[in-house]
Amino acid sequence: MATLQDIGVAAAINFLTAIAFLLAFAILRLQPLNDRVYFPKWYLKGIRNSPRGSRRALFGKFVNCDFRTYLRFLNWMPAALKMPEPELIDHAGLDSAVYIRIYLLGLKIFIPITVLSLLVLVPVNMTGGRLEHTKDLKFSDIDKLSISNIPRGSQRYWAHIAMAYAVTLWTFYVQYQEYKIIAHMRLRFLAAEGRRPDQFTVLVRNVPPDPDESVSSHVEHFFCVNHPDNYLLHQVVYNANKLAGLVAEKKSFQNWLVYYQTKHERNPSKRPTTKTGLLGLVGKTVDAIYYYTDKIERLKQEEAQERERVLSDSKAIVPAAFVSFRSRWGAAVCAQTQQSSNPTIWLTEWAPEPRDVYWENLRIPYVELAIRRLIMAVALFFLTFFFMIPIAFVQSLANIEGIEKVFPFLKPLIEMKTVKSIIQGFLPGIALKIFLVLLPTILMTMSKVEGFASLSSLERRSAGKYHLFILINVFLGSIITGTAFEQLHSFMHEPPTEIPKTVGVAIPMKATFFITYIMVDGWAGVAAEILRLVPLITFHLKNTFLVKTEEDKEQAMDPGSLDFATYEPRIQLYFLLGLVYSTVTPILLPFIVGFFAFAYLVFRHQIINVYDRKYESAAAFWPGVHRRLIIGLIISQLLFMGLLNTEEATDSTPMILVLPILTIWFHWFCKGRFESAFVRYPLQEAMVKDTLEKATDPTLNLRSYLQDAYVHPVFKGGLLKPPVIDDEEDALLVATKRTSQRGSKIQSDASSEVGVTLP
Amino acid sequence: MATLQDIGVAAAINFLTAIAFLLAFAILRLQPLNDRVYFPKWYLKGIRNSPRGSRRALFGKFVNCDFRTYLRFLNWMPAALKMPEPELIDHAGLDSAVYIRIYLLGLKIFIPITVLSLLVLVPVNMTGGRLEHTKDLKFSDIDKLSISNIPRGSQRYWAHIAMAYAVTLWTFYVQYQEYKIIAHMRLRFLAAEGRRPDQFTVLVRNVPPDPDESVSSHVEHFFCVNHPDNYLLHQVVYNANKLAGLVAEKKSFQNWLVYYQTKHERNPSKRPTTKTGLLGLVGKTVDAIYYYTDKIERLKQEEAQERERVLSDSKAIVPAAFVSFRSRWGAAVCAQTQQSSNPTIWLTEWAPEPRDVYWENLRIPYVELAIRRLIMAVALFFLTFFFMIPIAFVQSLANIEGIEKVFPFLKPLIEMKTVKSIIQGFLPGIALKIFLVLLPTILMTMSKVEGFASLSSLERRSAGKYHLFILINVFLGSIITGTAFEQLHSFMHEPPTEIPKTVGVAIPMKATFFITYIMVDGWAGVAAEILRLVPLITFHLKNTFLVKTEEDKEQAMDPGSLDFATYEPRIQLYFLLGLVYSTVTPILLPFIVGFFAFAYLVFRHQIINVYDRKYESAAAFWPGVHRRLIIGLIISQLLFMGLLNTEEATDSTPMILVLPILTIWFHWFCKGRFESAFVRYPLQEAMVKDTLEKATDPTLNLRSYLQDAYVHPVFKGGLLKPPVIDDEEDALLVATKRTSQRGSKIQSDASSEVGVTLP
Per-residue pLDDT band at B394 (split at 50, 70, 90): low
Indicate the SS3 state at residue B206.
Answer: coil
Residue A477 or residue B634, greater confidence:
B634
Smallest Cβ distance to A343: which of B341, B344, B673? B673
| Average pLDDT over all residues of chain B | 76
Smallest Cβ distance to A676: which of B343, B669, B677? B343
Q: Quote the DSSP letter at residue B709.
A: T
Tell me the shortest Cα–Cα distance from A669 to chain B, in angstroms: 7
Q: Say if residue A754's pLDDT is above 50.
A: no
Q: How many CB pairs under 8 A join A and B?
A: 110
- Residue in A484, A667, A665, A512 with CA at minimum distance from that of residue A584: A512
Contacts of A684 in chain B (CB under 8 A): 222, 226, 339-341, 346
Residue A34 or residue B189, greater confidence:
B189
For the full predicted model, state whether its pTM sits above 0.90: no
Q: Say if residue B722's pLDDT is above 60.
A: no
| Average pLDDT over all residues of chain A | 76
Mean pLDDT of A309-316: 78
Gyration radius from chain A CA atoms: 29
Tell me the shortest Cα–Cα distance from A228 to chain B, in angstroms: 10
Say whether A669 and B229 touch across the interface (CB within 8 A). Answer: no
Kind of pairing, strands B201-205 and B347-350? antiparallel
Say whether A672 and B497 touch across the interface (CB within 8 A). Answer: no
User: Distance between CA atoms of A663 and A211, rounded to whole angstroms?
Assistant: 53
User: Distance between CA atoms of B131 and B140, rounded to whole angstroms?
Assistant: 9
Longest Cα–Cα distance of chain B, Å, equals 88
Which residues fall within 8 angstroms of residue A748, CB to CB, at 6 or more apart? A49
User: Distance between CA atoms of B627 and B632, rounded to whole angstroms?
Assistant: 9
Q: Which amino acid is at B580?
A: V
Q: Quote the DSSP letter at residue B53.
A: G
Alpha helices in A193-240 (DSSP H): 197-200, 215-226
Q: Which of A14-18, A723-727, B590-594, B750-754 has the lowest mean pLDDT?
A: A723-727
User: Distance between CA atoms of B422 and B416, rounded to whole angstroms?
Assistant: 10
Gyration radius from chain B CA atoms: 29
Q: Say if residue B412's pLDDT is above 80.
A: no
Which pLDDT score, from 0 to 100, does residue B303 have?
A: 83
Say whether B681 and A338 touch across the interface (CB within 8 A). Answer: yes
- Max mean pLDDT among A294-303, A459-468, B129-138, B521-530 falls in A459-468
Residue A646 or residue A279, greater confidence:
A646
Buried b (16+ CB within 10 A) or exposed e, A290-302: ebbbebbeebeee
Among chain A residues, CA nearest to B228:
A687
User: What torsion do the CA atoms of B153, B154, B157, B159 make, to the nearest 10 degrees?
Assistant: 160
The secondary structure element, H or E, covering residue B204 is: strand B201-205
Chain B interface, best mutation among A684, A687, A694, by max B CB count within 10 A: A684
pLDDT in tens, B49-61: 655 444 445 555 5
Backbone angles phi, psi at A228, to 5 degrees: -60, -35
Mean pLDDT of A463-489: 68
Among chain A residues, CA nearest to B335:
A337
Q: Say if residue B551's pLDDT is above 60.
A: yes
Buried b (16+ CB within 10 A) or exposed e, B57-69: eeebbeebeeeee
Per-residue pLDDT band at B254 (split at 50, 70, 90): confident
Tell me the shortest Cα–Cα distance from B376 to chain A, in angstroms: 11
The secondary structure element, H or E, covering residue A237 is: strand A231-238
Q: Say if residue A379's pLDDT is above 80.
A: yes
Which pLDDT score, from 0 to 100, does residue B729 have?
A: 36
User: Distance between CA atoms of A7 and A515, rounded to whole angstroms?
Assistant: 8
Buried b (16+ CB within 10 A) or exposed e, B625-653: bbbbbbbbbbbbbebbbbbbbbbebeebe
ipTM comes to 0.70
Smallest Cβ distance to B496: which of A496, A668, A681? A496
Compute the C-alpha angle A567/A572/A575, nearest 5°: 135
Which pLDDT score, from 0 to 100, does residue A432 have?
A: 61
Which pLDDT score, from 0 to 100, does residue B345 have?
A: 84
Per-residue pLDDT band at B632 (split at 50, 70, 90): very high
Per-residue pLDDT band at A109 (split at 50, 70, 90): very high
Compute the C-alpha angle B16/B591/B643, nearest 5°: 140
Which pLDDT score, from 0 to 100, does residue B110 have?
A: 94
**Residue A629, phi-psi category: left (phi > 0), alpha (psi -120 to 50), beta (remainder):** alpha
Mean pLDDT of A699-703: 80
User: What torsion do the CA atoms of B174, B175, B180, B182 make, to the nearest 10 degrees?
Assistant: 110
pLDDT in tens, A668-695: 888 888 888 888 778 888 888 888 888 8
Contacts of A340 in chain B (CB under 8 A): 682, 684
Smallest Cβ distance to B337: which of A333, A346, A674? A333
What distance, in Å, lies between the first and last C-alpha atoms of chain A? 53
Q: Quote the DSSP letter at residue B33.
A: G
User: Distance between CA atoms of B469 and B467, rounded to whole angstroms?
Assistant: 5
Residue A547 or residue A586, greater confidence:
A586
Say whether A673 and B229 touch across the interface (CB within 8 A). Answer: no
Say whether A337 and B687 touch across the interface (CB within 8 A). Answer: no
Which pLDDT score, from 0 to 100, does residue A654 have?
A: 73
Chain B interface, best mutation among A683, A688, A692, A694, by max B CB count within 10 A: A683
Asked if residue A2 lies in contact with residue A516, where contact means CB atoms within 8 angstroms, the answer is yes
Say whether B661 and A377 touch across the interface (CB within 8 A). Answer: yes
Q: Quote the DSSP letter at residue A283.
A: S
Q: Quote the DSSP letter at residue B202.
A: E
- Residue in B233, B162, B203 with CA at minimum distance from that of residue B649: B162
User: Distance between CA atoms of B706 and A196, rounded to whole angstroms?
Assistant: 40
Say whether B337 and A341 touch across the interface (CB within 8 A). Answer: no
Say whether A378 and B661 touch across the interface (CB within 8 A). Answer: yes
Cα–chain-centroid distance for residue B511? Answer: 27
Smallest Cβ distance to A687: which of B225, B378, B661? B225
Q: Would you call B407 an interface residue with chain A, using a CB distance cutoff of 8 Å?
A: no
Q: Say if residue A62's pLDDT is above 80.
A: no
Asked if residue B333 lies in contact with residue A337, where contact means CB atoms within 8 angstroms, the answer is yes
Which pLDDT score, from 0 to 100, does residue B631 have?
A: 93
Tell me the shortest Cα–Cα distance from B340 to chain A, in angstroms: 5
Residues 347-376 of chain B whose Cβ lies under 8 A from any Cβ of chain A:
366, 370, 373-374
Q: Which of A384-393, B97-106, B526-535, B703-712 has the lowest mean pLDDT?
A: A384-393
pLDDT in tens, B415-446: 777 777 776 666 665 666 666 777 888 888 88
Q: Which amino acid is at B564?
A: F
What distance, in Å, lies between the first and last C-alpha atoms of chain B? 48
> What residue segments make up the domains of chain B, in order of their start?
4-194+367-442+450-492+499-679, 210-352
Per-residue pLDDT band at A199 (split at 50, 70, 90): confident
CA distances (Å), origin B263, targets A244, A315, B268: 94, 87, 8
Per-residue pLDDT band at A39 (split at 50, 70, 90): confident
User: Distance between CA atoms of B162 and B659, rounded to whole angstroms?
Assistant: 11
- Residue in A259, A321, A270, A326 with CA at minimum distance from that of residue A293: A259
CA distances (Å), origin B499, targets B136, B337, B646: 14, 55, 10
Tell me the shortest Cα–Cα distance from A682 to chain B, in angstroms: 5
Smallest Cβ distance to B339: which of A344, A381, A682? A682
Tell me the shortest Cα–Cα distance from B181 to chain A, in angstroms: 13
Q: Say if residue A296's pLDDT is above 70.
A: yes
Neighbours of B319 (CB within 10 A): 21
Asked if residue A422 lies in contact with residue A13, where contact means CB atoms within 8 angstroms, the answer is yes
Backbone angles phi, psi at A73, to 5 degrees: -70, -15
User: Distance between CA atoms of B18 and A544, rounded to whole angstroms?
Assistant: 94
Q: Which residues pair with B350 in a beta bridge?
A: B202
Say whether B374 and A687 touch across the interface (CB within 8 A). Answer: no
User: Distance between CA atoms of B479 and A224, rounded to whole angstroms?
Assistant: 60
- Residue in A610, A442, A575, A687 with CA at minimum distance from that of residue A92: A610
Q: Which of A607-616, A631-640, A683-692, B489-498 has the lowest mean pLDDT?
A: B489-498
Which pLDDT score, from 0 to 100, does residue B724 have?
A: 26
Q: How many CA atoms lie within 13 A of B489 on its CB side?
A: 4
Per-residue pLDDT band at A240 (split at 50, 70, 90): confident
User: Distance between CA atoms of B477 and B471, rounded to whole angstroms?
Assistant: 8
Q: Would you call B205 an interface residue with chain A, using a CB distance cutoff of 8 Å?
A: no
Contacts of B226 in chain A (CB under 8 A): 683-684, 687
Among chain B residues, CA nearest to A687:
B226
User: Distance between CA atoms of A429 and A394, rounded to whole angstroms?
Assistant: 10
Q: Which of A214-218, A276-280, B171-175, B617-621 has the lowest mean pLDDT?
A: A276-280
Question: What order do you get walking across the sheet with B347-350 strand by strand?
Answer: B231-238, B317-325, B201-205, B347-350
Tell me the shortest Cα–Cα distance from B206 to chain A, in angstroms: 13
Q: DSSP secondary structure string, B126-165?
A: HTT--GGG--SS---HHHHTSGGGSPTT-TTHHHHHHHHH
Mean pLDDT of B186-198: 83
Smallest Cβ distance to A341: which of B346, B669, B677? B677
pLDDT in tens, B257-294: 877 777 777 777 777 777 776 666 666 777 777 888 88
pLDDT in tens, A334-343: 888 888 877 7
Q: Which of A41-50, A722-731, B664-673 has the lowest mean pLDDT?
A: A722-731
